[in-house]
Amino acid sequence: MHTEGDVTRIVRSWLRTDEHESAERVIADVLALLDTATAPVLVARAEDRRRVNMFAKLAIAAAAVAVLAVVGINALPSSNLVGGPPASTSPSLASTPPEAAATPTYSEILPGSFIIPWQQLQIHLTMPAGWGSFFDGTGIEKIPRDGLDPKMSLWVNDVTYVATDVCGGRPNEGLVKVGPRVEDLTTALANQVGIQRSGPTDEVLGGYPAKRFVLTQPTGCSGTEGRQIWANGPMTGGLGLWLVDGATATIHVVDVKGHRLVIASADRGSPAEDVVQLNGIVASIDIEGRVVPLAVGRHSLTVDGVPFSFSVSTHTDDGWADYGGVSINKSISGPQTAEGIIYWTGFPDGAHTDPCGQMLRLQVGSSAADVAEAVAIAPGIELVERPSDVTVGGRPAKHVVVIVREDVGCDPGYFFSWYETRGGPFWGRTYPGDTINVWIVDVDGTRLFIASEIHRDDYPGASGPDVLTETEKTRLDRLEQEIQQIVDSIRFE
């Protein structure tokens, strides 16, 4: 247990580590611009300065990505993976988070399907019990029975640099850039020295051809700090795959219609039954659901057995994209964002408005009214519109609107993770300032849960220095209108 003084001292020390920033590139760009421009316009994005290839750029921009996994004693998340506060056994209707909220924990994945969104793909996994999500749901780890470090994980990678000699030279040096193609990486891995390797072996993963490598770090090379096999994203970020002595990584380099997908799993001495589980998870992988821009017009889908359709009226080049039927998203400020999301799921009876995954679970009744009330009193929010009776697609529904006011420490997601019947705590992230509209529609006894989320920095009560331009405000206003139009356009078949 750390005292307040301990924490202050540790945080201050931590902030002062790695003080080696050099702004040479920034200075050069700024000075060049001073000579040529009268208005401050970015002449080079950081990615351009670093000459990160397009694949990496897209990876950084568009996906929730697990970019570091070190199978080492000191490196993996530890006991906080184990559970966290138990689910409340009584209704918690407090408008402020319970004390437990101050202790962020990873979410244990409930057995069933789990989706890892990756660039324009979705990786579906079938999960057994006893696993947790990490990196905002973009990777998984076996929750250790002993409460110590996890020994087994699986995640998706954005490989940009590969070590030529894992064990030679100084630790973690000698990385060379690797191209974006499947063969670029497989060749680099096949030529890598200083590591025990088998492969490449042909395989099929998720319905696509793949190459598999199994890498084992020889003892006496890396000790407990680990040696870097590759880097994800910028090389200087210290991110990527690292292995400690005796650890093993299995690499799947998948060719998804010319698009390289790298899935890695790592293990350092897990029990045999855990290995069996991991193999089962890998075997369950299904790769699908490319993000598809939605054409103007009507689109149909079925959620939890409920068929319905909705209309999109904006142009495709500035429009909504379908994320595998789980949600439709729209970005109005570039590929790194999705300022507007409409998300839909069914929910069987039980607690499926599940703020913070299992951390702040509310015991919610099964009726639409119960769910709406639960949303209205969720921790960290301000109620904007109380639950009211509306109709969606001609069916009775409850509607409630909230604004996220406080980061209550959910993980994954900063505020709220809706339980997704097809994929666990799927909802990406919510932030203070997000406006969430929820409609719970009763369709012949089946309840359909529809939520939209939009972020604005000028939300009422915002106290930071952020200011939206008039153009941004106009675009956000229009986005809000589009969301309402889409919901209004819903028809049940």
- Applying the rule CB under 8 A, the residues between 90 and 119 that interact with other proteins are 102-105, 117
Name the one range near other proteins by CB under 8 A: 72-80, 159-167, 274-282, 380-388: 72-80
CA-CA-CA-CA torsion sign (344, 345, 349, 354):
negative
- Of residues 127 through 146, those in contact with other proteins by CB under 8 A are 135-136, 138
Binding residue for other proteins, selected from 7, 190, 276, 295, defined by CB under 8 A:
7
Binding residue for other proteins, selected from 273, 318, 389, 466, defined by CB under 8 A:
466
**Site membership for other proteins, residue 233 (CB under 8 A):** yes
Name 210's Cβ contacts closer than 8 Å, sequence gap at least 6.
202, 203, 204, 252, 253, 254, 255
Binding residue for other proteins, selected from 11, 93, 193, 296, defined by CB under 8 A:
11
**Site membership for other proteins, residue 316 (CB under 8 A):** no
**Site membership for other proteins, residue 391 (CB under 8 A):** no
Least spacing, CB of residue 75 vs other proteins, in Å: 6
Of the candidates 153, 375, 423, the one whose C-alpha atom is nearest the C-alpha of residue 282 is: 153
Retrieve residue 267's tokens: 């293990």
Name the one range near other proteins by CB under 8 A: 222-230, 297-305, 385-393, 443-451: 222-230
Binding residue for other proteins, selected from 45, 298, 386, 478, defined by CB under 8 A:
45
**Site membership for other proteins, residue 283 (CB under 8 A):** no
Retrieve residue 376's tokens: 């209205």
**Site membership for other proteins, residue 386 (CB under 8 A):** no
Least spacing, CB of residue 361 vs other proteins, in Å: 18
**Site membership for other proteins, residue 39 (CB under 8 A):** yes
Residues binding other proteins: number (CB under 8 A): 108
Name 478's Cβ contacts closer than 8 Å, sequence gap at least 6.
none
**Site membership for other proteins, residue 120 (CB under 8 A):** no
**Nearest-5° Cα angle at 332, 330 to 336:** 80
**Site membership for other proteins, residue 65 (CB under 8 A):** yes
Closer residue to other proteins (CB): 6 or 493? 6
Binding residue for other proteins, selected from 108, 354, 411, 420, defined by CB under 8 A:
411
Strand partners, 161: 177, 231
Distance of CA 294 to the CA centre of its chain: 22
Name 236's Cβ contacts closer than 8 Å, sequence gap at least 6.
none
Rounded distance between C-alpha atoms, residue 100 and residue 467, angstroms = 33
Closer residue to other proteins (CB): 242 or 308? 242
- Of residues 262 through 281, those in contact with other proteins by CB under 8 A are 268-269
**Site membership for other proteins, residue 414 (CB under 8 A):** yes
Binding residue for other proteins, selected from 185, 239, 436, 476, defined by CB under 8 A:
239
325: left (phi > 0), else alpha (psi -120 to 50), else beta?
A: left
Euclidean distance between the first and the last CA atom of the chain, given in angstroms as a whole number: 57
Q: What are phi and psi of 223, to 5 degrees?
A: 60, -145
Binding residue for other proteins, selected from 225, 255, 304, 480, defined by CB under 8 A:
225
Closer residue to other proteins (CB): 27 or 129? 27
**Site membership for other proteins, residue 75 (CB under 8 A):** yes
Name the one range near other proteins by CB under 8 A: 244-252, 305-313, 354-362, 485-493: 244-252
**Site membership for other proteins, residue 314 (CB under 8 A):** no
Q: Is 310:299 a contact under the CB 8 Å cutoff?
A: yes
**Site membership for other proteins, residue 172 (CB under 8 A):** yes
